[in-house]
């Protein structure tokens, strides 16, 4: 069903952050840092893949994301929703269903056999495509996916994600320089605020995490 309400951005961010905490998607560990796809190591990680296993959480978040897309881009702005391999595929499918649009997905690289395609599903020249993903850190994978979409002759000027790290400088400008507008539900700052309101983590842990978030480039992993 197409969402017919457009909640306030601040409320969407607050509730989305609370949901991620409630389903155990937020992880902190300074002693054994997480390694991201980019190769970066950090004491924080959000596992948005967990969302698909929590029906009520995923329903709320996907309603929020569909409403955000329509509010920021327009109700008739797109002809196709593309999910990014692999985490973006279920979210792309759920958003396509809500917006009553065709769904496709984008491979990270050509599959190496058959048509050797990066785009799966029906995407045609001139279609306006919204790339849907679970999250973004530095925006690098989004640019790669968008380039693959544009190679079909379609346009892609928006990417929508559940979670945006929001701590690395220049990410939104980098995407904008590539003609991409980033839409997201919440950031680390929303998660920290929600965590301080609740009792998921102790104050000392949150203070240490916030110190990292304020200067991720200056953080040194333990030896």
Domain residue limits, the chain: 9-217
Q: What is the mean pLDDT of residues 16-22?
A: 97
- Give yes or no for residue 192 having a pLDDT over 80: yes
Q: What is the mean pLDDT of residues 10-26?
A: 97
Measured CA to CA, the distance from residue 136 to residue 87 in angstroms comes to: 11
Name the pTM for this structure: 0.93
Q: Read off the pLDDT of residues 124-151 as tens digits, 9 standing for 90 and up.
A: 999 999 999 999 988 889 999 999 999 9
More reliable by pLDDT, 4 or 52: 52
Mean pLDDT computed over every residue of the chain: 92
What is the secondary structure of 37-53 as a DSSP string?
A: TTS-EESEEE-GGGGGG
- Give yes or no for residue 181 having a pLDDT over 80: yes
- Give yes or no for residue 114 having a pLDDT over 70: no
- Give yes or no for residue 74 having a pLDDT over 80: yes
CA–CA distances in Å: residue 18 to residues 6, 11, 25, 210: 19, 11, 10, 17
- Give yes or no for residue 199 having a pLDDT over 80: no
More reliable by pLDDT, 207 or 99: 99
- At residue 137, the pLDDT reads 87
DSSP 170: T
Measured CA to CA, the distance from residue 108 to residue 37 in angstroms comes to: 12
- Give yes or no for residue 111 having a pLDDT over 90: no
- At residue 77, the pLDDT reads 98
Q: Which of 181, 192, 166 is nearest to 68 (CA)?
A: 181
Q: What is the mean pLDDT of residues 174-200?
A: 94
Q: Considering the domain 9-217, what is its CATH architecture?
A: 3-Layer(aba) Sandwich (3.40)
């Amino acid at each position: 069903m197409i969402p017919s309400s457009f909640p306030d951005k601040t409320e969407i961010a607050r509730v989305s952050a609370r949901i991620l905490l409630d389903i155990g998607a937020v992880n902190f560990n300074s002693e054994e840092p997480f390694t991201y796809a980019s190769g970066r190591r950090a004491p924080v990680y959000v596992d948005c893949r967990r969302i698909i296993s929590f029906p009520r959480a995923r329903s709320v978040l996907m309603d929020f994301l569909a409403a955000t897309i329509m509010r920021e881009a327009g109700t008739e702005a797109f002809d196709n929703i593309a999910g990014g391999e692999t985490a973006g595929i279920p979210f792309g499918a759920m958003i396509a269903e809500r917006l009553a649009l065709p769904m496709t997905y984008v491979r990270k690289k050509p599959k190496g056999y058959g048509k050797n395609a990066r785009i799966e599903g029906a995407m045609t020249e001139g279609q306006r495509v919204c790339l849907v993903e679970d999250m973004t850190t530095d925006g690098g994978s989004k640019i790669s996916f968008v380039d693959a979409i544009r190679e079909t002759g379609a346009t892609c000027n928006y990417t929508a994600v559940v979670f945006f790290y929001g701590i690395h400088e220049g990410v939104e400008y980098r995407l904008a320089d590539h003609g991409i507008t980033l839409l997201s539900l919440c950031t680390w700052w929303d998660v920290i605020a929600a965590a301080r309101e609740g009792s998921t983590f102790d104050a000392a842990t949150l203070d240490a995490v916030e110190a990292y978030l304020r200067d991720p480039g200056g953080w040194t992993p333990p030896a």
